Amino acid sequence: MSLPSAFTIFAIEVTSKIMDRKRLIFVTNDDGYASAGFAAAIEVAREFGDVIAVAPLTPQSGRSQAITLTEELLLDKVRGDEGLEIYSLSGTPTDCVKVAFDHMLEGRQVDMVISGINHGSNSAINVLYSGTMGAAIEGSFYGIPSIGLSLTDHSPDADFSAAKHFSRRIIASVFDEAKYDTPFCLNVNVPALPQERIRGIRFCRQCRGIWREQFRPTAKTDGRIGFTMSGAYTNYEPDAGDTDEWALANGYVSVVPIQVDMTSYAHRPALERILKRCERTASRSSQQHGLTHNDFRL
């Protein structure tokens, strides 16, 4: 019987180390490091591996994928336990992801990014405004499966029991899935209902709708005017049964896969006609002025 080669022994040792390596989960959010939803996300993440968490020092809701360009970012270690490190950063949710992956985690293999659990829904067009989803999307740019988690309850002391339960199920299922294209990002929203009243988990598409804001002006002593914003969401398709808004309204957890390609392919035919007219206009103008125009090409 032949003995295994040195290469075979090396391959077995490397495979064993990979299989034995504990997962590393990165957690962030937009409600700030002291929020109950952030603590809930960390609790769930620790069931799947070691956790490094970096969250904004102050609430950053509505910051989308904003980054800090002109101010110094200050990092502070909040807590350090076995398998857990928690930091606050004086920046946006996306800043937290960038500082973590481009500095703190350099050379370490992260297995998943979890952003949340957000206090309030990030369904429909909210995905564009959400700092929670901005961080999740940014995390996916590093080739790592990323999940934004939200509960449809804005209360600071919201009950995250059901959100934690369904987050566990979804995270475990993503880890079990070996084949998916990157970037891979999910927008998960959990209705604010007792766990036993939630009917299940549904694959959805983003609902079409818009926010329309109202601004209440307040006169300031220095002559300026201050504004306080409120608003209401208008659902353009309330009867469509395949949207995230419908799922949440009917007691389901909504899961929407997110892509960053914002090209409107449906508008290509109209744009081609527009550019052809531009080209004809440029041609006539060059003939009138004796110039050559090469600005418009299809």
Find residue 201's DSSP bridge partners: 253
Please compute Rg for the chain using Cα positions. Answer: 24
**pLDDT at position 279:** 86
Backbone angles phi, psi at 254, to 5 degrees: -100, 140
pLDDT digits (tens, 9 = 90+) for 82-134: 999 999 999 999 999 999 999 999 889 999 999 999 999 999 999 999 999 99
**pLDDT at position 1:** 47
CA–CA gap between residue 103 and residue 264 (Å, rounded)? 35
CA–CA gap between residue 211 and residue 230 (Å, rounded)? 10
Helix ranges (DSSP H) in the chain: 6-20, 36-45, 93-99, 126-129, 131-140, 161-176, 244-249, 268-289
Please compute the mean of the pLDDT values over residues 58-66 and round it to a whole number.
96
Is the pLDDT assigned to residue 10 strictly greater than 50?
A: no
pLDDT digits (tens, 9 = 90+) for 146-165: 999 999 999 999 999 999 99
CA–CA gap between residue 172 and residue 174 (Å, rounded)? 5
Find residue 233's DSSP bridge partners: 211
Is the pLDDT assigned to residue 49 strictly greater than 90?
A: yes
| 286 confidence band (pLDDT: 50, 70, 90) | low
Sign of CA dihedral 108, 111, 113, 117: negative
Q: Which helix (H) or strand (E) holds 4?
A: none
